[in-house]
A = this chain, B = another copy of it.
Amino acid sequence: MARLNSHPSGRHFLQIPGPTNVPDRVLRAIDHPTIDHRGPEFQALAKKVLTEVRAVFQTYSPVVIYPASGTGAWEAALVNTLSPGDTVLMCETGHFATLWKKIAEKLGLKPIFLGGFEEGSWRRGADSGAIEARLAQDTLHAIKAVCVVHNETSTGATSDIAAIRRVLDRTHHPALLLVDTISSLGSIDYRHDEWGVDVTVAGSQKGLMLPPGLSFNAIGERALAAAKSARLPRAFWSWNEMLEANAKGFFPYTPSTNLLYGLAEAIDMLQEEGLANVFARHARHAEATRRAVAAWGLEILCEVASERSNALTAVMMPKDNTGKTYDADRLRNIIHANFNMSLGQGLARLSGWVFRIGHLGDFNDLTLAGTLAGVEMGLGLAGVPHRAGGVQAALTYLRDTARARASEMTERRAA
């Protein structure tokens, strides 16, 4: 595998917004020998992860685990609850929302695609006002589901799921609420039960700190009921067989055994740290990153402070005198070549205009400091106009907020 290690000396900084840096404990877990997925050892493992993973979604509902990456879980959420020709209300928050919409179209659904405050601006989360207006119009309840991306990985904007739930309640609209948490679960507070979500879609390679290859549907009661009458063809993604087999600690087809080892370990790690601490950690690192961006004099893509993601920050490239935007991909390449760091590229219409800093998953202050240092040095090397001091601003914030944590730690130890 030497060919995968041709990077220069030292550890690669994988600061894309997922896959994230897989912790050593998880890597060691997944390289245990594969076991019989029909034997008692596997059964014990499956029962453990199927039960314990629910807490990460903050739900008591069943969570289905697919041996497939996240795109599959998008498809699963749709084919299990909807029928050919069904209308679904989706929100154009960015590239991934658009991909989900395309999947809906391919599967024979009829998506209504709501833009942000300004159509297609990709600088906001979902507009609950616009959703409300559209649902209010739909007096015949043609709309069968509302689909929202909680944390849009392409833009770093989050959507207020609780507000959308309130909109559904206010309009007395029976549409299901399907939410993509692929890049928020295990990083940003997300509450499947409290927010009345019907299906939550998630993947392994972000806040869950695993390699890609597992994906999830947390399934509420109304979604389970809808599955009984849903007529989209489904086999691999079908919840029925999955839930039936899961009840006994097994899977209807071969599961991804080794990634499940990793999932067991990752859940342990999240529980050891405590979900509330995990969310606070992400919030603190995101704030430090935003302070660095502000100090550089650069603009964050997400326009609204309250919607800025705690998992990633998309940064807009400045324009030169002629109005031409500095090339984000050139910057990323220079940083990759000089500082052994991968940053996220601008996707689709954002290509070349933004770069994205992932600050989620198994992460800490000094790795963030290294990350921001790489960006600041890269801006310099690439000749992108900016003010120095972004790293300094972040460090000041991290230091000042660490001080608090340090004293808390002392108290907790004393207790």
Contacts and interface: CB of A to CB of B under 8 A. Distances in A.
A271 to B, nearest CB: 11
Interface string A379-415: 0110000001101100110110011011001000000
A396 B331 CA distance: 17
A32 B253 CA distance: 27
Which one of A16, A39, A336 has the greatest number of beta carbons of chain B within 10 Å? A39
Contacts of A84: 233
B30 A30 contact: yes
A213 B338 contact: no
Which one of A3, A22, A28, A365 has the greatest number of beta carbons of chain B within 10 Å? A365
B16 A281 contact: no
Given A233-B106, A371-B366, A345 B254 contact: no
Contact of A253 (B16, B71, B339): B71
Contacts of A275: none
A144 interface: no
A71 B254 contact: yes
Interface stretch (A133-141, A169-177, A258-266, A306-314): A258-266
A34 to B, nearest CB: 4
A330 to B, nearest CB: 12
Contact of A211 (B212, B256, B278): B256
Given A253-B71, A264-B1, A281-B9, A28 B28 contact: yes
A75 B373 contact: no
A80 B203 CA distance: 25
Interface in A16-36: 16, 18-25, 27-36
A94 interface: no
Interface in A237-279: 238, 252-259, 261, 264-265, 268-269, 272-273, 278
14 contacts: A4-B45, A5-B23, A10-B363, A12-B33, A21-B33, A22-B34, A28-B32, A75-B236, A108-B233, A212-B258, A369-B373, A370-B370, A377-B402, A381-B403
Given A68-B236, A69-B255, A213-B256, 14 more contacts: A1-B25, A2-B268, A9-B363, A10-B366, A21-B33, A22-B34, A27-B33, A28-B32, A69-B253, A106-B238, A108-B233, A211-B256, A212-B256, A369-B370
